[in-house]
């Protein structure tokens, strides 16, 4: 493989690899960006619902603790020292309750109408708690117990109802989170499959492109390796290779073939009179006539300059002479035109077949016999077919 051809293949492979690499990186970026966004959204849904639910439960627990402290102080008819401790505990519960309300207010995503009502009722409940503590401090234990059992419990029931509504909404949001998470996961899976399909398609297209380009380069390389660039027929190396293969088949299996060496008559004179471009056109015209006149099994090759070879497999001397004479006659009766000039040319042929070869004769002997036959054809006046050893 030539350096130029290797570079071309390398460039194509590198270009294909870069396209696939860009596709893979794009796929990974889109996929993981989507995954991160999905996880972030899911996390927000979950944390908000979880925070509201915990805060609502903790709020209700703090209110229950305040009620228990009040009832216990009323039951034991707490003295001043015990009452101070009870008030301190209640203040702590109230502060914790306010924190939970703030947390609910910050994370709650439903209808916000219950939040002001909840805060109002909590404030009213704090005021009633202060009234109960005042009565306890004055020793009015019966009145304090009655206030707790009536107005305080009624207000607590309103707070609990509002709190239950908030808790129910948090549970609903949690269920929605599960459903939304499943939908997002399904959508993300579909997107992943789609991106993967696009990536595979891209890979196949790049593979086809790279394979096509490499195949095209191989075809061009084969064409340059086996054909003559001017005439488009087999070059000397390829023609000699096929001729040697035919000789080996003859030596092994005895299969007959014929070979003709051809030379265009007075070709130098054509170049001198009409120019080298006209000479090239004559060579091309000669090859076209050979291809059209010969059989598909026959092969024409350029041996050098205006000298050509014709290989006719599975053809005896008689049949080969008929084919070559028909070709010679067709060339002799044709005239080609170039820039208003009428150019007529002829060709001489030296023909040899396996009938004139010994079983041990090889390429050198064959070429020598054909070349001598061609020389004889020229000596006898050109524009004729001469058979070796005749």
- Both tokens of 227, joined, read 């054909």
Catalytic position from the list 94, 306, 319, 330: 306
CA geometry: angle 286, 304, 299, nearest 5 deg:
55
Distance CA 52, CA 186 (A): 27
Contact 281, 338 (CB under 8 A): yes
CA geometry: angle 127, 133, 139, nearest 5 deg:
140
Strands 307-313 and 257-264: antiparallel
Distance CA 124, CA 146 (A): 17
**Does 330 qualify as catalytic in the annotation?**
no
Backbone angles phi, psi at 271, to 5 degrees: -65, -45
Q: Is 302 helix (H, G, I), strand (E, B) or coil?
A: strand
- Burial of 268: CB neighbours in 10 Å, binned 0-12, 13-18, 19+: exposed
Tally Cβ neighbours within 10 Å of residue 67. 19
Q: How many residues does the chain have?
A: 390
Contact 233, 227 (CB under 8 A): yes
Which residues are part of the catalytic machinery? 306
């Amino acid at each position: 493989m030539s350096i130029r051809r290797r570079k071309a293949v390398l460039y194509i492979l590198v270009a294909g690899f870069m396209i696939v690499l860009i596709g893979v990186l794009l796929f990974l970026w889109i996929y993981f960006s989507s995954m991160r966004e999905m996880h972030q959204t899911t996390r927000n849904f979950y944390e908000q619902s979880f925070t509201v639910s915990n805060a609502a439960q903790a709020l209700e627990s703090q209110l229950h603790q305040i009620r228990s402290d009040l009832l216990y102080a009323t039951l034991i008819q707490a003295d001043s020292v015990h009452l101070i401790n009870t008030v301190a505990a209640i203040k702590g519960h109230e502060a914790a309750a306010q924190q939970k309300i703030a947390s609910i207010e910050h994370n709650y995503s439903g209808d916000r109408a219950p939040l002001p009502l909840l805060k109002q009722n909590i404030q009213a409940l704090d005021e009633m708690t202060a009234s109960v503590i005042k009565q306890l401090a004055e020793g009015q234990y019966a009145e304090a117990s009655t206030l707790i059992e009536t107005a305080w419990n009624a207000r607590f029931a309103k707070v609990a109802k509002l709190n239950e509504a908030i808790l129910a909404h948090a549970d609903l949001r949690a269920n929605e989170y599960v459903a939304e998470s499943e939908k997002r996961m399904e959508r993300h899976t579909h997107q992943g499959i789609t991106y993967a399909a696009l990536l595979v398609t891209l890979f196949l297209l790049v593979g086809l492109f790279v394979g096509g380009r490499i195949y095209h380069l191989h075809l061009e390389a084969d064409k340059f390796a086996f054909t003559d660039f001017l005439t488009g027929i087999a070059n000397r190396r390829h023609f000699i290779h096929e001729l040697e293969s035919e000789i080996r088949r003859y030596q092994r299996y005895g299969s007959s073939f014929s070979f003709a060496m051809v030379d265009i008559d007075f070709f130098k004179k054509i170049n001198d009179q009409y120019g080298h471009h006209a000479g090239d056109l004559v060579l091309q015209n000669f090859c076209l006539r050979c291809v059209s006149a010969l059989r598909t099994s026959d092969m024409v090759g350029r041996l050098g300059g205006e000298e050509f070879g014709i290989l006719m497999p599975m053809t005896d001397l008689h049949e080969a002479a008929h084919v070559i004479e028909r070709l010679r006659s067709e060339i002799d009766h044709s005239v080609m035109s170039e820039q208003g000039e009428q150019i007529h040319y002829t060709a001489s042929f030296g023909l040899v077949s396996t009938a004139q070869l010994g079983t041990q004769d090889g390429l050198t002997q064959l070429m020598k016999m054909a070349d001598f036959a061609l020389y004889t054809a020229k000596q006898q006046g050109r524009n004729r077919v001469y058979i070796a050893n005749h």
